[in-house]
Amino acid sequence: MKAAIYIRVSTDMQAEDGFSIEGQRTRLESFIQSQDWSVHDYYIDEGKSAKDLNRPEMQRMLQDMEAKQFEVIVVYKLDRLTRSVADLHGLLKRFDQFGVKFKSSTEVFETTTAMGRFFITLVGAMAEWERETISERVRFGVEQMIIEGRRPGGVIPYGYTQSEELIPEEAALIRYARDLYMGGLGYKGIAMKLNREGKLRRGQEWTSATAAYTLENPYYAGILRLGSKTPDGNYVNGNRDRRVKCLYGDGSHEPIFTRVEYEQLKEFMERKSHGGFSRVQTYWFSGVLRCGRCGAAMFGRMTTARSTTNGKVRTPYYICSNKHSNKSCDMPTFRQVHVEHLVMEYISKIKWDMKTAGEIAAGMEQEVADKQDEAAEARREINRIAERREKWQYMFVEGLIGKDAIRKKIAEEDAAEEAARKKLASVKNSLSVMPDTAVLEDLQTLWKHMDDEEKKTMVYEVFEKIVLNTPETNVKGVKNKFFNADIEEIKFN
């Protein structure tokens, strides 16, 4: 009779005598030899839990069983196969369907009689009870840690050391990201802006996911949160407030946001998700628009709805954040169509005479090439620093360098890396003032064919900063007319 040997080890059982892979293999081979059977194949799931059947080798074994490649499945103990009663019933039914028997080498179980099935089910129920009891105990212990204000393990969030001490530079960057979000930028826009400015996340570029996780994490407001799944049992990345059985506690670490600031942020997120803000990226220039009077960001809002022959209409406009928050700036608001007009007019001036633009571009060609070479050298230096840092660490592990010496070397490398990254950011900044006339040509040609989201994405890709200014203060809106204003400065990506 051909036998399939199934072996499973979980992480915590790996080193225990008899439960290791080799321990189970040796005992099962001896058992099969005593039964005068032959081994068809070994199915080994290493480091896998028995809470479900979603295991690579388990699935391969079931596929081979359906292909009728063996007649019996042998395990060291029943709990190596599964700890779920429901899964056990399902497996026994499938075994019967394909005429496959089941044997445990250390337990008196067989599947040919009702009594045998009863005992297997009983033991399976006990195994499931044991697993759930352990899970409840672990949960209880973790909940108690949360109540006592102690973080129950895991990776310490960005902005803190492993001992939960605040890192001032990273904390300032997190606050900056919050300000960008409150100013109207979305997660993707924040990531793009931080990366453009060379404000990386411990050497890695920001993504929309890392920006979202950072802003939504209550840890930065001094809050510990336990709970990670939605009601349907799925882990979540966004919509974290849908998590069930959440437990909150006061952490002992120094917060970056106040509770009030965090609640304001959550309320703002809720409004952006469920009304009060366009879900189709209505505000094309949010995140790049700046006030020419005070330098603050200008963000998008909607006018109060007014009745027209075509129904209710609301118009997008931009307002200086200082004017909105504390009335410290008297810059008038700009309708979005006015900003659009000014930007297109500015682009037209740049590329109006393509011959002149070509001559300018040719004159700047060498300067651009030099800057690009500087950027490439800065990147190479960062890579060299990483290699040197690994070398010092290797020498320390091998005992070739002392603790004080490696601390000094690592500090030197950190300083060198910081200087190289500042150099890279400076070069990128100088390159950003050099417009690509081909890109501007595409923008002006395609603009009228784009939807709101495409326009917003294009603005982020082309512009780093657009500064508006006007001599006017008290502006009265006139239909189909724009007040006297111009673009004071544009920085390109």
Q: Which residues are catalytic?
A: 10
Longest dimension (CA), the chain: 98
Residue with tokens 């628009």, as numbered in its chain: 289
Helix H, strand E, coil C: the string for the chain is CEEEEEEEECHHHCCCCCCCHHHHHHHHHHHHHHCCCEEEEEEEEECCCCCCCCCHHHHHHHHHHHCCCCCEEEECCHHHHCCCHHHHHHHHHHHHHCCCEEEECCCCCCCCCHHHHHHHHHHHHHHHHHHHHHHHHHHHHHHHHHHCCCCCCCCCCCCECCCCCECHHHHHHHHHHHHHHHCCCCHHHHHHHHHHCCCCECCECCCHHHHHHHHHCHHHHCEEEECCECCCCCECCCCHHHCCCCEEEECCCCCCCCHHHHHHHHHHHHHHHCCCCCCCCCCCCCCCEEECCCCCEEEEEECCCEEECCEEECCEEEEEHHHHHHCCCCCCCEEHHHHHHHHHHHHHHHHCCHHHHHHHHHHHHHHHHHHHHHHHHHHHHHHHHHHHHHHHHHHHHCCCCCHHHHHHHHHHHHHHHHHHHHHHHHHHHHHCCCCCHHHHHHHHHHHHHCCHHHHHHHHHHHEEEEEEECCCCCCCCCCCCCCCCEEEEEEEC
The pairing of beta strand 306-308 with beta strand 486-492? unpaired
Report in angstroms the alpha-carbon separations of 337 from 284, 315, 343, 485: 10, 9, 10, 13
| Side chain identity at residue 308, one-letter code | T
Name 302's bridge partners. 316
**Of 460, 427, 462, 428, the residue nearest 444 (C-alpha):** 462
| Side chain identity at residue 332, one-letter code | P
